Amino acid sequence: MTFELQYTDPKSNARAGLITTDHGQIETPIFMPVGTAGSVKAIHLRELKDDIKAQIILGNTYHLYLRPGLNILEKAGGLHKFNGFDRPMLTDSGGFQVFSLTGIRKMKEEGVEFQSHIDGSRHMFTPERVMDIERTIGADIIMAFDECCPGTAEYKYAKESVERTHRWLDRCIARFNATEPKYGYKQALFPIVQGCVYPDLRRLSAEYIASKNADGNAIGGLAVGEPVEKMYEMIELTNAILPKDKPRYLMGVGTPVNILEGIERGVDMFDCVMPTRNGRNGMLFTKNGIMNMKNLKWADDFSPIDEDGDSYVDTAYTKAYLRHLFHAQELLAMQIASIHNLAFYLWLVREARKHIIEGDYAAWKPSMVKRLSTRL
């Protein structure tokens, strides 16, 4: 994997770049739709590629390990062959999912023992095991196994957690370097900066991660309950340390406004379940603000869902029809909303890239943030 930094905004830290993998190129900044169990919920491949214009999607190590399992994935020839998506993919390490299993997981220096949320069976994730699993899944970019510390953790625990994450990273790197990809194309390993909301821990972690000279770097443990101002502060602090010639991935973030603020602070890659999860519950994000499609005000509004939208669903259906589908609990409602939201998110990062290249991102962003925050 390579990264070319192509443009920087003269009045902010916003950047536009190009990631090249064996499955294709990714123009940054980029939003990555989340395909937890090998599928982006309610979205067909053709919609994902041609309408939403996804350049890269995510898979989840924890969920794919449990179902369909490594044997099936390896027989298929990896996740690309299994789900048919022939563009770049990224897998997280499963760390966030494992650590969220409060009460059914036990952490040791060796790794984390946990029970499956599906059938209660017991499993062990170690840094070495996770590297082997991600080799078998076969994504182009794979994440190191880390401990995702709660946003409200006390300093002592957060410090121990960062140090453990660093020790696990060294084991991940050793295993990654000692193994080969399984399907004939290269994989890149991204370490993850942790440290909760403590500046000295974030600085310590960013410096340690930067010293590893990885192909790219991630910022984890944010958007997990901390105030949004703290999140932005930690992003700024971390990106001031992470190398400028490598892509920076802010994990699990977030709202359209979060994404624009992250871009302004030098983030290149984002992912979040919000566009699909909120879409399935009737919330649509648009360039003019947020719509709750279950509201009565749309019941007799026969205008297109979004006249200026970037997806075919925006003009193929009306607001009144989409509201009807939600109230009738039709599956099509969730599909339309998910397609719209993902297409909007991809439009937003393309628009951000355009303004970075034109050199006016810092001037464009405030008015866009105001529009995106409006409730329609």
Q: Which residues are catalytic?
A: 92, 271
Nearest to 149 by CA among 203, 115, 193, 105: 193
DSSP 145: P
Q: How many other CB atoms sit within 10 Å of the CB of residue 107?
A: 14
Q: At what angle do helices 228-239 and 199-210 cross, to 10 degrees?
A: 40
Alpha helices, DSSP H, located in 38-154: 45-46, 61-66, 70-76, 79-83, 95-99, 127-137
**What is the DSSP track for 285-296?**
EETTEEEETTSG
Residue type (1 letter), 24: G
The angle at the Cα of 214, spanning 15 to 152, to the nearest 5 degrees, equals 75
DSSP 135: H
Long-range (24+ apart) CB contacts under 8 A made by 309-317 are 309/340, 309/343, 309/344, 310/343, 310/344, 310/346, 310/347, 311/51, 311/52, 311/339, 311/340, 311/343, 311/344, 312/51, 313/51, 313/339, 313/340, 313/343, 314/340, 314/343
Nearest to 269 by CA among 284, 288, 285, 254: 254
| Cα 38 to Cα 29: distance, rounded to the nearest angstrom | 23
| CB environment 15-47: b (16+ within 10 A), e (fewer) | bbbebebebeebebbbbbbbbbebbbbbbeeeb
DSSP 105: E
